[in-house]
Amino acid sequence: MGNFGRVPVGVVGASDYGGVQLVRLLMDHPEVELVYLGNQSSIGKPFADLYPQLAHAVNQKIEAVDPEVIAQRCEAVFICLPNGQACEIAPQLLEKGCKVLDLSADYRFNHLATYTAWYNKERTDRSTAAVAVYGLPELYRDRISEAQLIGCPGCYPTASLLALSPLLKQGLIVPETAIIDAKSGTSGGGRQAKINMLLAEADNSLAAYSVSRHHHTPEIEQICSDLAGHEVTIQFTPHLIPMVRGILATVYATLRDPGLVRDDLITIFRAFYRNSPWIKICDPGIYPQTKWAYGSNLCYIGIEVDPRTGRAIVVSVIDNLIKGQAGQAIQCLNIMMDWDETLGLPKLGFYP
């Protein structure tokens, strides 16, 4: 255990945007002590060399990713590595008794064949993957509380599934009619240099990408199928928008009962999320903006019904780096440790 009985935790892959968000949030968490920062590409560098603005708060160096060393020092480990790397070290950490929260796609799927088909990597850790729990607390809180391994959701699936879940779980829509139109800021692409993320390329422009083949599609479909009770195919199109952070997902779906009106759906959503402190359902006629969630772990949801088309329209916004990544992972850790779900997480966004 760490100082004053705090739980010692580590971050593997601390140098990317998700990693630095975790460092920032964990430094202020009252029940944990950040004792390890790891990344193979920056071994020996002070963390402050990568993020000088944190020099006054973080004096640790980046260390090698050695599961033996990590397990000796950490009770819980966050893995923020590219897809296909967490599965190489997570089994070893679990064997040594660590709780593992993976922020990549490696442990999000019930069937590794689906992962292989979309991520082009063969896996040998079938028994480890079988015990992973999908880390969306609003749906799987009870499972998370008993888990040792969490596959934390992607940012697009988080925003999209929070908009769709009440509709699917209550059987209010025809599942196959669901369409997700989602837009993300550039931080969703990580800190690595990419041509399409350059200011000259992304600014004053809006573009769809990975149309019909985005790797978050099977993740969304898996959870939608679980909620609906049968296999569901979803149309999902992501877009890059010229801002740093935030996701807005607009979901359209045909209602089974054409007599349902907006107030009915608002009542249903509020009941569905009555025990979910991070979900805020907007009043009638109010539709959220990404800036509302900026810097917080909140998800704002606005709801409408179009009587002409018989469709429900649900708008969901989150900060992709907090509720869509680091914040949600800490939310899961809080549940795993039987702490208050909101502990150490920002409850209000930055505005304006």
Give the pLDDT mean for 21-30: 95
pLDDT higher than 90, residue 188: no
DSSP states of 199-260 as a string? HHHHTT--EE-STTT-TTHHHHHHHHHHHHTS----EEEEEE-SSSS-EEEEEEEEBS-TT-
Do residues 44 and 15 touch, judged by C-beta distance below 8 A? no
pLDDT higher than 90, residue 8: yes
Whether residue 352 has a cis bond before it, omega within 30° of 0: yes
pLDDT higher than 70, residue 282: yes
Active site residues: 155
- Quick: pLDDT tens for 66-103: 999 999 999 999 999 999 999 999 999 999 999 999 99
Average pLDDT of the residues of the chain? 94
* Whole-structure pTM value: 0.95
Higher pLDDT, 34 or 39: 34
Share of the chain above pLDDT 70, in %: 98
Q: How many CA within 13 A on the CB side of residue 172?
A: 27
Which pLDDT score, from 0 to 100, does residue 3 have?
52
* Confidence band for 193, pLDDT divided at 50, 70 and 90: low
* Confidence band for 197, pLDDT divided at 50, 70 and 90: confident
- Quick: pLDDT tens for 123-149: 989 999 999 999 999 999 999 999 999
Chain centroid to CA 322? 8
Question: Helix or strand or coil: residue 318?
Answer: strand
Which pLDDT score, from 0 to 100, does residue 262 have?
98
How far is residue 311's CA from residue 162's CA, in Å, rounded to a whole number?
17
Q: Measured between alpha carbons, how far is residue 315 from residues 5, 20, 183, 229, 253 in Å?
A: 42, 28, 11, 24, 12
